[in-house]
Copies of this chain bind each other. A is one copy, B any other.
Amino acid sequence: MANSNDRAAPFGGPAPNCFQCQWRERSEWCVLARDDVQVLNDHKITSIYEPGQYIFRQGDPCSGVYSIVAGAIAIRKSDPHGHAVLVRMRHGGETIGYRDFFAGEIYTTSAEALSRCRVCFIDKRSVRGLLDRNPALGLGFLHRMASDLQEAEETLLQSASLNTRTRMAHLLLALKDRYATAQEDGSLTMKLPLSRQDIADILGSRPETVARIIQAFEKDDVARFSGRNVIIPDLDALLDEIDPDGD
Binding site for B on A (CB under 8 A): 77, 79, 85, 87, 99-100, 102-103, 108, 131-132, 135, 138-139, 141-143, 145-150, 152-153, 155-157, 159-161, 204-205
Across the interface, which residues of B come within 8 angstroms of A204, CB to CB? 156, 159-160
Across the interface, which residues of B come within 8 angstroms of A108, CB to CB? 150
- Copies of this protein, total: 2
Asked whether A103 lies within 8 Å of B143 as measured between CB atoms, the reply is yes
Q: Given A79-B157, A157-B79, do A139 and B138 touch, yes or no (CB 8 Å)?
A: yes
User: How far does the Cβ of A146 sit from chain B's closest Cβ, in whole Å?
Assistant: 4
Closest 9 CB pairs of A and B: A160-B204, A103-B146, A138-B138, A135-B135, A152-B152, A102-B146, A102-B142, A145-B145, A99-B146
User: How far does the Cβ of A150 sit from chain B's closest Cβ, in whole Å?
Assistant: 6
Asked whether B152 lies within 8 Å of A156 as measured between CB atoms, the reply is yes
Across the interface, which residues of B come within 8 angstroms of A157, CB to CB? 77, 79, 85, 87
User: How far does the Cβ of A59 sit from chain B's closest Cβ, in whole Å?
Assistant: 15
Q: Return 23 A-B CB contacts under 8 Å, by A number.
A: A77-B153, A87-B157, A99-B149, A99-B150, A102-B145, A103-B146, A103-B147, A108-B150, A132-B135, A135-B138, A138-B139, A142-B142, A142-B145, A145-B146, A149-B152, A152-B152, A152-B156, A155-B156, A156-B156, A156-B159, A156-B204, A159-B159, A160-B204
Across the interface, which residues of B come within 8 angstroms of A87, CB to CB? 153, 156-157
Asked whether A138 lies within 8 Å of B149 as measured between CB atoms, the reply is no
Across the interface, which residues of B come within 8 angstroms of A152, CB to CB? 149, 152-153, 156
User: How far does the Cβ of A98 sit from chain B's closest Cβ, in whole Å?
Assistant: 9
Bound CA span A77–B152, Å: 13
Measured CB to CB, the nearest residue on chain B to A85 is: B157
Asked whether B149 lies within 8 Å of A145 as measured between CB atoms, the reply is yes
Measured CB to CB, the nearest residue on chain B to A205 is: B160
Q: Apart from A102-B143, A145-B149, list 7 A-B contacts with CB within 8 A.
A: A85-B157, A87-B153, A102-B142, A138-B139, A138-B142, A145-B146, A159-B159
User: How far does the Cβ of A199 sit from chain B's closest Cβ, in whole Å?
Assistant: 13
Asked whether B150 lies within 8 Å of A103 as measured between CB atoms, the reply is yes
Q: Which of A132, A142, A159 has the most CB of B within 10 A?
A: A142
